[in-house]
Amino acid sequence: MLSALATLLVCQLAGEVIVRALTLPLPGPVAGMALLFILMLARAPLPKALGDTADRLLKHLSLLFVPAGVGVVQHIDMLGREGLQLIAVVVLGTAITLTVTALTFEFLARLLAVDEIATDHDGTHEPGAGEP
C-alpha cells in the first residue's frame, strides 16, 4: 500500500518535471499516467499492491471532484446574464459529443468486427475473470 502510493507519487512528480521541461500541453499527472504505463509494460506482471491501491483510489474517483464542484457553486455568478445560454450550450454540446463519439467507435468496431469482447458485458465484469 505504502510502496504503491509512493510509486504513484513518484510517477506524478516525474510527470510534472517532464511536462515542464518539455513544455507539453498536458497536466503532469497525465504524463505520470503514461510513465507508469510504460514502467508496467517494462516489468509485467502488475504488482498486486499497486493494483489494489489503484482500484481503491479509482473506486472513489467521484469524491475527488467534490472540492472543485463546490468551487463552481461558489462561482456560479461568473456565468452572469448569459447563464442560461451557457448551460444550454454545455448540455446540448455534451449530448452531441457523447452520441457522435460512441456511434463512431461502435460503427468502426462493428466494421472491423472487434466489438465482441465488449458487448456481451453485463456491468459486473471483473478484470481477468470470465474472459472469453
Partner 1 sequence: MSDFVKLWVYLSGSPLLWLTATLVAYVVADAIAARTGRHPLVNPVLLAVILVAGMLLATGTEYPAYFSGAQFVHFLLGPATVALAVPLFRYLPHVRRTALPMAVALVVGSLTAIVSAVLLAQAFGLDRASTLALAPKSSTAAIAMGIAETVGAEPALTAVLVILTGITGAIVVTPLMNALRLKNYAARGFAAGLASHGIGTARAFQVSPLAGTFAGIALGLNGLLTALLVPAVIEWLVK
Q: Which of 1, 3, 106, 130 binds partner 1 (CB under 8 A)?
A: 106
Q: Which of 1, 17, 20, 91 binds partner 1 (CB under 8 A)?
A: 91
The nearest distance, CB 40 to partner 1, in angstroms, is 5
87 DSSP 8-state letter: H
The nearest distance, CB 132 to partner 1, in angstroms, is 11
Is position 86 an interface residue for partner 1 (rule: CB under 8 A)? yes
**How far apart (Å, rounded) are the C-alpha atoms in residues 89 and 84?**
9
Amino acid code (one letter) for 15: G
Report the phi/psi class of residue 95: left, alpha or beta, with left for phi > 0 and alpha for psi in -120 to 50.
alpha
Window 41-70: residues binding partner 1 (CB under 8 A) = 41, 44, 46, 50-51, 53-55, 57-70
The nearest distance, CB 128 to partner 1, in angstroms, is 7
Q: Please provide the DSSP assignment of 13-48 as one string.
A: HHHHHHHHHHT-SS-HHHHHHHHHHHHHHHTPSPPH
Is position 118 an interface residue for partner 1 (rule: CB under 8 A)? yes
